[in-house]
Chains A and B, each alone.
Chain A
Amino acid sequence: MSVLMLAAADPSQLLPAREQMAFTLGFHIILVPFGVAFTFITMVANWRGLRHDDAEAMLLAQRWSQVAAVLFAVGAVSGTVLSFEMGLLWPGLMDRYGAAYGLPFAVEGIFFFLEAIFVAIYIYGWKRLSPWVHFWSGLPVVLSGVGGTFSVVAANSWMNSPGGITVRDGKVVDVDVWQVFFNDSFWYEALHMLLAAYVVAGFTVAGVYAVGILRGRWDRYHRIGLLMPLTVGAVAIPLQIAMGDVIARYVFNAEPAKFAAIEALPHTRTHAPETLGGVLVDGKMHFGIQIPSGASLLSGFSPSTKVHGLDAVPAPVRPPDNLVNVVHLSFDVMVGTGFALLGLALWFVWLWWRSRAVEPNRWFLRAVAVSGLVAIVSLECGWIVTEVGRQPWTVVGLLLTRDAVQTSGDLWPFFGGAVLIYSGVTVGSVYALRGLRRRWAQGETTSVPYGPDNDPDQGHTGDPGLVDAS
């Protein structure tokens, strides 16, 4: 996306640095919902299993925790790469603002630590911990998912609305920690991302069981495997849409440049239209569907609301048309997919209210099957809106992205390596998850020992659980 924004004056490393950041963050963010929200869904199933003696719910919870183990591992290591990239790609940011921007990550460190510890206890504790102790060991995972999201988003929102720092001679000399963390856009972004995690995890997990039912597995196991996560997603999506509406008005008031890019509005005006789709070429909107006064109405509840256009942004820091188009179209896709998911949630409520069963409706199942993918597209588009919408700034008003970028070395091989390795990891994840499914299908219940000659019944000395089981 940033290919087009590369102006002649930009340092040569800007393009690979931005591409790599977008690529690795875009990869990592797909795994985040599974670290943040999947454990909650698993705990719901676990609770059902314990409370109502529900064997199928218990089995689902156990299997989900195994899937979470794989996804959490990939999420943890791809998140670590982002930490390295703070310095490897953006040393200018860390050098100048690390003292403020870095702090929320220190808080995140605690949450990530607790998450890693209790995820392990929860995943590996099924056999030997007492059932309720084991159940409650999942709670710190859910809570640190919330805390971790808030901390990381605090850092991100600080870039959009930096506050709490005193700068003298280009150096940060004092930091108000509270204001850095709880900066102006903090609550908006933090709650938006938290809800997004529940939306993505809920619909994605539900989709897996929708596919199962479509393939003819009409059992109770698949039924509750569909219903529990779908309920979580269906509860989260209307809240998310309401939240999004509030945030859009916040952006309108607090970040007019980003709002102008979102609306792809060339000139400041009242009765500003809401343009769906379309592209801006040479300052003119083409092919879009315009709702008269839509943007004015949505942002100020009156057609006479004045909306700042791109011409209100000073020319040197005005985003070029192609960048504006990326932001505008991503926003449209995010909102569109969000409403599609809301429609699915309403359909779910309707079917449930009518007949307490969703399985007979194959079109509904098909919609659920793809809903996870739709939710992920929405999530990615949301991040594109906030990240690309901030350009050319890394820290709005303080630091241009071109001044933050690494100037040593050559980032292209690093980016190439990232693409290669992440592709391998993606393929590996798919194989690993398919392997898990196949193993469950075969009804195998112990971990797989290595090697072709190894007979599972003989046991391997390293696994005391196996000895117990036999």
Chain B
Amino acid sequence: MSTATGVVLLVAILCYGVLGGADFGTGLWDLTAGGAARGAPARSLIDHAIGPVWEANHTWLIFCLVLLWSGFPTAFSAIMTTLYIPLGIAAFGIVLRGSGFAFRKVSMHTAEQRLNGIAFASSSVITPLCFGAVAGGIASGRVPTAGHGDPITSWLNPTSVLGGVLAVLTCGYLAALFLTAEAHRDGAPALEQWSRRRAVASAVACGVVAVAGLFVLRHDAHRLYDELLHRGWPLMAVSALAGLAALLMTLRPGRMSPALIRPIGALAVAAVLAGWGAAQYPYLLGTHLDLHAAAAPGSTMTALLVVAILALLLVVPSLVWLLVLTHRGNLVTGDD
């Protein structure tokens, strides 16, 4: 039962990582798109690409939180009393990202747009950085079962740095892939090229950091490293192959629609996250608190699984409809 809830939690993290991650990643490209005039087309593309979907994608995070605090309350409380600094920053980052984005969309003056845009874009980079650091702290066993772990080294350590950097880069990668597809659909070759270059660059960066990361893990989180290579190797292989395939397809434009590259790139990212879950199993925190020991009573777990099934029946079809409408360009802004 606790394993089933753990799997649901991992799936929610996967969805947040891929869908929410792509939305966060646009912030990286928005931030570096240049001045108001030069960056205008790219920012407009980003606006239309994530405008209709970011709130829905963001909801996966809420799902992760409620699954964690209802299903594994001790672990939730341990994480919150240890990693409160990056989590507090992430909470504020979420506020600034969402408000900044929504405000920029409706601001009239360049100065206002710039201010809101900076709030949106910089917090879109900081938030995944924090979440990656939090994941690193949990994975490397720096959150004690009883909580109240070291408030600094729990997130300022090699695995956390790896987690943070990898999170920002994968978000950027996903965003670039999604934006390429979006620009392609809109028939905007210049923007497509712009996004494509960023997809290639961030794909290479992700690959390099991921490989280097294995060495970091070998020293800093040895069990995780072992299990990634033993239990998790098929997933790592899937990730590497999907990543390479997506990269090759992106490098040769025209051979394949960018809309088809998108799921392959997403698979590469999802497989890494799933690998993390598989490698850490059966532990929830480091190597000291397992899913079973952290679990809430059986009746709570049953209720959570019922909620998960309801989500599968109600939310997933609705979400698919939203994503299909968005990708077909049926959701657009404008008063009239």
Cβ-defined partner of B95 (8 Å) among A94, A414, A425: A425
A445 partner residues in chain B, CB cutoff 8 A: 334-336
Q: How far is the CB of B46 from chain A (nearest CB, A)?
A: 8
A73 to B59, CA, bound (A): 12
Which of A94, A120, A425 sits near B99, CB closer than 8 Å? A425
Instruction: Verify if B260 is at the interface (C-beta below 8 Å from A).
Output: no
B107 in contact with A127 (CB, 8 Å): no
B window 321-336: CB within 8 A of A: 321-322, 325, 329-336
Instruction: Give the chain A neighbours of B52 by CB distance below 8 A.
Output: 120-121, 123-124
Stretch of A277-285, A326-334, A403-411 that contacts chain B: A403-411
Our pick among A99, A113, A429 for the contact of B59 (Cβ within 8 Å) is A113
Q: Are A447 and B59 in contact (CB under 8 A)?
A: no
CB atoms of A463 and B116 under 8 A apart: no
Q: Which residue of B lies closest to A78 (CB)?
A: B95
Asked whether A408 and B81 contact (CB < 8 A) given A76-B98, A448-B108, the answer is yes
In the complex, residue of chain A having the shortest beta-carbon distance to the beta carbon of B99? A425
Q: How far is the CA of A108 from the CA of B62 in the complex (A)?
A: 9
Q: Chain A, 73-107, contact with B by CB distance < 8 Å: what is the 0/1 string?
A: 11011101101111110011011111110110111
Taking CB atoms, residues of chain A closer than 8 Å to B58 are 76-77, 80, 116
Kindly state the separation between the CA atoms of A15 and B237 in the bound complex, as whole angstroms: 51
Which A residues touch B74, using CB under 8 A? 95
Expressed in whole angstroms, the minimum distance between the Cβ of A251 and any Cβ of chain B is: 28
Digitize A416-450: 1 where CB-to-B-CB distance is under 8 Å, 0 elsewhere. 01100110110011011101101110001111111
Residues of B within 8 A of A102 (CB): 66, 69-70, 73
Enumerate chain B residues within 8 angstroms of A81, measured Cβ to Cβ.
91-92, 94-95
Which of A96, A175, A414, A461 is in CB contact (< 8 Å) with B297? A175
A297 at the interface (CB under 8 A from B): no
- The docked-state distance in angstroms from the alpha carbon of A159 to that of B36 is 50
Residue of B105, B147, B299, B302 contacting most chain A CB atoms (<10 Å):
B299
B107 to chain A, nearest CB (A): 5
Stretch at the interface among A46-54, A62-70, A185-193, A210-218: A62-70
Question: Is chain B's binding surface mostly helix, strand, loop or mixed?
Answer: helix
Are A120 and B335 CB-contacts (below 8 A) given A73-B102, A99-B297, A425-B95?
A: no
Known: A80-B62, A87-B79, A112-B62. A462 touches B95 (CB 8 A): no
Stretch of B82-90, B156-164, B199-207, B238-246 contacting A (4+ beta carbons < 8 Å): B82-90
Contact B307 A107 (CB under 8 A): yes
Most A C-beta atoms less than 10 A away, residue of B117, B303, B307: B303
Mask, B8-45, CB within 8 Å of A = 1, is: 00000000000000000000000000011101110111
Name A177's contact: one of B53, B87, B109, B300 (CB within 8 Å): B300
Are B88 and A460 touching (Cβ within 8 A)?
A: no
B256 on the A face (CB < 8 A): no
A284–chain B nearest beta-carbon distance, Å? 42
Q: Looking at B102, B113, B191, which has the most chain A CB atoms within 10 Å of its CB?
A: B102
Interface residues of A in 110-151 (CB under 8 A from B): 110, 112-114, 116-121, 123-129, 140
* Bound CA span A449–B45, Å: 10
Question: Which of A99, A107, A129 counts the most B-chain CB atoms under 10 A from its CB?
Answer: A99
| Alpha-carbon gap, A466 to B66, bound state (A) | 40
Q: Which of B84, B91, B98, B119 contacts A406 (CB 8 A)?
A: B84
* Cβ-defined contact, A450 with B40, below 8 A: yes
Asked if B36 and A103 make an inter-chain contact with CB atoms under 8 angstroms apart, the answer reads no
Mark out the residues of chain B between 58 and 74 whose CB falls within 8 Å of any chain A CB in the assembled complex: 58-59, 61-63, 65-67, 69-71, 73-74
Q: Does A314 contact B (CB under 8 A)?
A: no
Chain A residues with CB under 8 Å of chain B are: 62-63, 66, 69-70, 72-74, 76-78, 80-81, 83-88, 91-92, 94-100, 102-103, 105-110, 112-114, 116-121, 123-129, 140, 172-177, 406-409, 414, 417-418, 421-422, 424-425, 428-429, 431-433, 435-436, 438-440, 444-454, 460-466, 469
Could you pull out 14 A-B pairs where Cβ atoms are within 8 angstroms?
A91-B76, A98-B77, A99-B297, A121-B325, A425-B96, A428-B100, A435-B112, A444-B335, A446-B335, A447-B334, A451-B37, A460-B45, A462-B45, A462-B47
Residues of B bordering A, CB below 8 Å: 35-37, 39-41, 43-49, 51-53, 55-56, 58-59, 61-63, 65-67, 69-71, 73-74, 76-77, 79-82, 84-85, 87-88, 90-92, 94-103, 105-110, 112-113, 116-117, 119, 147-148, 151, 182-183, 186-188, 190-191, 296-297, 299-300, 302-304, 307, 310-311, 314-315, 318-319, 321-322, 325, 329-336
